[in-house]
A and B are shown apart, each in its own frame.
Chain A
Amino acid sequence: MLYKTSIEQSLILSGEKDRFKELLRTRLTECGWRDQIQMLCRQIVKERGVQNITADELIGEVTAKGRALVPDAVKKELLQKIKAHFSQDM
């Protein structure tokens, strides 16, 4: 737990966490994941009605599906980039 925290802190300090996030965001937009999730959310909101759903409930409904929809290539690229970052740093 402590180790995980210090890794996370070093990533925040260097700004690298924001870079990784931006990379992930770009890839998810490129591959259409963002649009898929948007469609999914829109469908759920339409079914229930805007007034009868909270952001938290929506997150609860799409999270599992959203995770499953992330392409393996995106996960692989990010993992490889993070690994490369740390092997270069230490």
Chain B
Amino acid sequence: MSEHGCIHLSNFKAAKGTQPYKVIYAYFVACTSTEARKRKAFSCYCYICRCLGPRLHSCLHCIFFGCFVSGHIQEHAKSKKHFLAVELTYGMVMCFQCGDYIYDRELTDIANERDAKASKALGLPISYRSWEPSANEIELLRLHPRRRRVIENSTIGLRGLINLGNTCFMNCIVQALTHTPLLRDFFLADKHQCQFRDQPGSCLVCEVSRLFQEFYSGNKAPLILHRLLHMIWTHAHHLAGYEQQDAHEFFIATLNVLHRHCKGSSAHTHSSPEHCNCIIDQIFTGGLQSDVVCQACNGVSTTIDPFWDISLDLATDIPTSSSESNDSGQKSSESSQKSNEQEPTSLIDCLTRFTRPEHLGSSAKIKCSNCQSYQESTKQLTMKKLPVVASFHLKRFKHSSRFHKISTYVAFPEHLDMTPFMSHYRNMNNGHCGNTFNLLPDNRYSLFAVINHLGTLDGGHYTAFIRQQQNHWFKCDDHLITKANIQEVLDSEGYLLFYHKQFLEYE
């Protein structure tokens, strides 16, 4: 297979240009119009045996279709001396003089552009294309010939973290972050562009980037996170000091600072978090839809708020469950709602409760934008947009009259389908059924990290289970890393649960 076209194709292009290829591609390979589809359906068959394929080719010199399998396109090429033909499934050019398909940069570009248009015309996502290194990347690979191959039972990426005095809350979150597949790919691909080049040592994203290099360097000695801790102290004052901290709070604070540092100082001028496209937002931000339905006029007012994680209630006497960045919707609850329901025993239970319609009660009348009066209403939360990483926070620490910890076992699955909690799914069930062709979206997730809290509120310890290489699990207890299995993970008393989307769509 020639890499750089062939002399016959070059001669053909010099004489006739790329127009013949373009026409054949647009009508018979990737149709963008109904007209093209009609032509493809009715006039595209082997002129000798009338079959529709497989491996039908079109002559590039004249109007002739012939199948390859029965040798009809070959016969045509030989008798007419038309030696170039286009294969109609993938649009590759065959040169019968060279006896093989020919790569040609110019024609490949035309094909790619046409494919994208055709997918768009059918409402399909952009199809998968394997990675090709850019000129810059080829140069880098040439300059650094050393390769490291990751084998099946490699322990690369596993490093213990020294406890600096009650810093297990930080260690467990760092373990979860460094084993977030998409975040790892981003940092190991060296994609971060620092916004604070004039102030070295102040960018938290750079520090995390450096940590990823340390984690995946192959060195096995435990790491000391003093720089990270110091940066968190300076950027999130409420976490400073040597006390025990809440891992969840640390997680949210870290995302916050990372998000801010990704955008750089320009962020202070326009503060609209929805229009950010930094890596933190790309991976962690989802959209939560809140529908408030007025009980008098049935008018619906819908708002969509961004979220980084979902906090789920475990106790029954507080029917409210609010997500982190949605504090505006703090609901005052009616006491009538509490006693007749069971405590949730699984993550699915919690999510079902989180997304069910809820009566806001007579003490919380809201002004309806539709009928302009204060009315009782119901409120329902659903997922409008799912993040790539779905983080769930089980509210085990309850601060009612006194602080205490809820240690009930809450089951969570290894694989989770979020479809039932989506906005469009709920709407579909309320009204008519959607179309049967449900190719996308795919809302399946798999578990990759679990944070556990052991002990009591005042004397506790955090550990993390993390997934490494598809299906190997490890328990990270500060500087100690031990092998675990999925059953231990699923049996554990989860506090923070991290799920990664299984399939990502191309944008």
Contact = CB atoms under 8 A, between A and B. Distances in A.
Nearest to A28: B128
Contacts of A30: 503
A15 B124 CA distance: 11
Interface in A6-56: 8-10, 12-15, 18-19, 22-23, 25-26, 29-30, 34, 38, 50, 53-56
A64 interface: no
A19 B100 CA distance: 29
Contacts of A18: 31, 118, 122, 124
A22 B119 contact: yes
Given A13-B37, A22-B127, A30-B503, A8 B52 contact: yes
Interface string B27-62: 000010010011011100100000010000000000
B436 interface: yes
A54 B52 CA distance: 24
Main secondary structure on A side of the interface with B:
helix
A88 to B, nearest CB: 6
Contacts of A88: 436
B1 A25 contact: no
B127 A25 contact: yes
B437 interface: yes
Interface residues of A, number: 27
A54 B122 CA distance: 34
A34 B127 CA distance: 13
Interface in A47-90: 50, 53-56, 81, 84-85, 88
B1 A54 contact: yes
A75 B265 CA distance: 53
Contacts of A26: 127-128, 439, 503
25 contacts: A5-B45, A8-B41, A9-B41, A10-B41, A12-B31, A12-B41, A13-B34, A13-B41, A15-B122, A18-B31, A18-B122, A22-B125, A23-B439, A26-B127, A26-B439, A30-B503, A34-B128, A38-B130, A54-B1, A55-B92, A55-B100, A55-B101, A56-B100, A84-B436, A88-B436
Interface of B: 1, 31, 34, 37-38, 40-42, 45, 52, 92, 99-101, 118-119, 121-122, 124-125, 127-128, 130, 436-437, 439, 503
